[in-house]
Structure 1
């Protein structure tokens, strides 16, 4: 179905090629998972499948990419649209209509699908992705996760034979991501759709893959059996890392497989590691915070203290009110009632410069805070330390690059560096791990740990349970605008079938959350 024959891509003769002499084949009805660190070319590889690379991105492509018998050199993306459906990293950038139902219908209208068929496909897609109740909603009012599901639906309704997905679960809560991946798997198994998917959260996806395509970062690719390629893959989910630590063969790809392999491990585990950070005084005090949108209550009468020296995770399903709460705490978001004090001063009504040193916020769409022409300029205007922070979060980004040419993960790292450079007492982050590989998330966790130990308070709204397990002292869970759980990370996540990390599921009832925890419990060092 998909053939790469001697494919190379180069944007600049002074830099190494993005893709180097690639030979690759993906069979019909196969789910191929593309893995690699942030910025190694996963999106470029996906873009070559539907002709966006190089027809719209530029660059010099050699070799042949053939999809469904069509050579992408001779057939631009508009001619490949009936064969290849694509969902990019930023779903909002691809929307063309106002409401969910109109967005789903738009692609079929362009292809001349008759009305009766169009209506049937829209209904089937709404049900398939669990968004039927959103059909009349404006796309602008949806949460990030809801927008991503609609974007996937818009690609599915035209019934393409190939579906290309770039980080399809990055903005979804664990339950919603399982629904989406189950739907994708049904397309593969029942309809024979060929799916090529790039995903950083391998703990969600690798168990479903028929094959894995690994990009080590030197322009080449390796493809083959998932279990074999995970042996030395530069990125791997926690169950694979646990298998590597314990010497299991074959390596487990799912929690189920790992639980079977772990039967002899549990009795060998010693004392459970404890978190070492200690909370100081409350830096942020929120009382009675309520956020409403017309008649809908997004956040309801919330009291929340954030202590110096701590990292708190804010979790909950898509649309539970996490982003609304963050903006209300920061002071520029709407607030129907309540107060938020940082250092004894109300955050609302202050200008941007006044807030910068007290409350920093990184939004879901990091690019909203980038407006200059180069990475170097963005770092320079952000004050001392921004460039050093960026190098720690995402090494190797050229100062001369335009921020809009960076990958989603690289743009996020740049915005994080800009916000952290101001040294705010309170740092609020909305889905900061979206688009980041495991190594980048580890560096982010180290940076947040450094900030906490320096006396800052950090609140992270996220669906990334693995990041929470390794970085947060405390977890607050929202549901429909209410706080339904609040406590130490191990107490909250280990008891939840939805928010429990892979290691906790594998080793239950032993209360360990991460692979480093297991290493310590086996007598190693953290």
Structure 2
């Protein structure tokens, strides 16, 4: 179905090619998982399948990519639209209509399908992805996860023979991700659709993959089955790290496989004291929010929420897509709508409400990095962004640049922010916000697009912020990140808080939010591989 014949891609003359002499074949009805570090070339590989590389992105492509007998050199994306469906990392950037139902129908309109067929497929897709209640909603009012499901649905209605997905579950809660992946695997097994999927959260997808394409970052692509490729891959989900620690051969690809082998490991841990609950001083809250209400036309996003944030603590804000997490963060920070309630941030000059302050002053009390960190970046170079952040906050020259160097050393000052990797762009946006030295830092889905190594660096940064006395909130669907990072977990549903407790209390009580290690070793209260390694007195193999 898909053939790469000695493909090399250059974007910059003389620069390192993201793809170098790639030769591979993907057959009909395969689910092919593409893995690699941030910036390794995964998106370039995916975009080459439907001709976006080089017809849209520019650059030079040597060799040939053939899809269903069509050469992408002579068939631009419009000539492959009936064969290949593509969902990119940023759903909103790909929307061309205003409402959910219109977006689902748009692709079929371009293919001139009969109205009766279009109506039937729209209804099927709404039910398939569980978004029937969003039918008439404007696309810009949806949460990031809801937008992602709509983007996938807009592609599925055209019934493509090849489906290309770039980070399809990055903004989805665990249950929604399972639903989407179940739909994708059904297309593969029942309809013979070929799926090529790039994903950083391998723990969600690995068990479904027929093949694993690993991009080490030097332009080459290593092709193999998941079981064989995982023996030497330098990025791995917690389940694989646990298997390496326990010495399991072959390595398990699913929680079910791991549980079948874990009886000996559970026995070894039975007499070991469970991991201690971190003791955090019960200091007065830095931020107090009471009865926060946020409304949008036809819906109440936040329904009278109370929240206290204390210095030195990391709070994970979780919940299904559309539960009100982002709306709560924006209301607390003061930039977003707030139709009721109060927020008080304690500072040297007493308690203040960020919403009552000009934007520049509000940043000195509460810093917010949104889901798309690039929204905070608008100048031509990294150095220009840093200098502007210093000026806006009256910070000494070089303050923001010093923060950037601390978060991601060696970032060239003359680099355009749009040319940075996701991790680098996140670090720059975070440094811009931290230049104002706010005592409260809010991070909305900060690990979208980050590989396991980058997430470890991010975890170290957040811990550093907490150690410096800041109150940090991380709104995320990444249960593995929460298990490693958070002191406290707050779960929202329908605009209300439905759970609030320590990380172990909340995550071990919920199958939806339990990390892989907890599922494998249940009912023992272990959350991470690091905890298990420490309990066994072992050193975990580096990933």
Are the equivalent residues in 2 in contact too, given 1:31–1:208 (CA < 8 A)?
Answer: yes
Match of 1:514 among 523, 528, 537: 528
Q: Does 1:314 align with 2:317?
A: yes
Are the equivalent residues in 1 in contact too, given 2:355–2:362 (CA < 8 A)?
Answer: no
After superposing the two structures, state which structure 1 stretch, 371-380 or 150-159, moved more. Answer: 371-380
Match of 2:295 among 287, 292, 295: 292
The offset of 1:396, in angstroms, is 6.2
Q: Does 1:248 align with 2:251?
A: no
Residue equivalent to 2:490: 476
| Cα distance in 2 for residues equivalent to 1:465 and 1:292 | 28
Residue equivalent to 2:465: 451
Are the equivalent residues in 1 in contact too, given 2:278–2:487 (CA < 8 A)?
Answer: no
1:105-504 matches, within 5 Å, as 105-269=105-269, 270-274=272-276, 276=278, 278-279=280-281, 280-343=283-346, 344-383=351-390, 384-387=398-401, 389-390=403-404, 393=407, 397-504=411-518
Aligned to 2:262, the other structure's residue is in SS state: helix
Are the equivalent residues in 1 in contact too, given 2:288–2:343 (CA < 8 A)?
Answer: yes
Q: Deviations over 1:452-498 (max 9, x none)?
A: 11100001111110000000000001110111100000000111010
Are the equivalent residues in 1 in contact too, given 2:3–2:65 (CA < 8 A)?
Answer: yes
C-alpha root-mean-square deviation of aligned residues, in Å? 1.6
Gaps of 5+ in 1: none
Are the equivalent residues in 2 in contact too, given 1:34–1:198 (CA < 8 A)?
Answer: yes
Aligned to 1:120, the other structure's residue is in SS state: helix
| Cα distance in 2 for residues equivalent to 1:25 and 1:393 | 40
After superposing the two structures, state which structure 1 stretch, 234-243 or 289-298, moved more. Answer: 289-298
The offset of 1:423, in angstroms, is 2.5
Are the equivalent residues in 1 in contact too, given 2:98–2:138 (CA < 8 A)?
Answer: yes
Are the equivalent residues in 2 in contact too, given 1:332–1:349 (CA < 8 A)?
Answer: no
In structure 2, relative to structure 1, the CA distance for the partners of 1:243 and 1:48 (3 Å cut) is: same
| Cα distance in 1 for residues equivalent to 2:516 and 2:400 | 34
Gaps of 5+ in 2: 391-397
Aligned to 1:233, the other structure's residue is in SS state: coil
Are the equivalent residues in 2 in contact too, given 1:37–1:234 (CA < 8 A)?
Answer: no
The offset of 1:276, in angstroms, is 4.3
In structure 2, relative to structure 1, the CA distance for the partners of 1:240 and 1:387 (3 Å cut) is: farther
Residue equivalent to 1:15: 15
After superposing the two structures, state which structure 1 stretch, 392-401 or 209-218, moved more. Answer: 392-401
In structure 2, relative to structure 1, the CA distance for the partners of 1:120 and 1:434 (3 Å cut) is: same
| Cα distance in 1 for residues equivalent to 2:416 and 2:52 | 19
After superposing the two structures, state which structure 1 stretch, 480-489 or 352-361, moved more. Answer: 352-361
The offset of 1:375, in angstroms, is 2.8
In structure 2, relative to structure 1, the CA distance for the partners of 1:410 and 1:187 (3 Å cut) is: farther
The offset of 1:387, in angstroms, is 4.2
| Cα distance in 2 for residues equivalent to 1:190 and 1:82 | 19
| Cα distance in 2 for residues equivalent to 1:216 and 1:309 | 37
The offset of 1:391, in angstroms, is 5.3
Are the equivalent residues in 1 in contact too, given 2:143–2:322 (CA < 8 A)?
Answer: yes
Are the equivalent residues in 2 in contact too, given 1:393–1:440 (CA < 8 A)?
Answer: no
TM-score under structure 2 length normalisation: 0.94
In structure 2, relative to structure 1, the CA distance for the partners of 1:388 and 1:58 (3 Å cut) is: farther
Aligned residues: 526
Q: Deviations over 1:315-363 (max 9, x none)?
A: 0001111011001110121111111111111121211221222110011
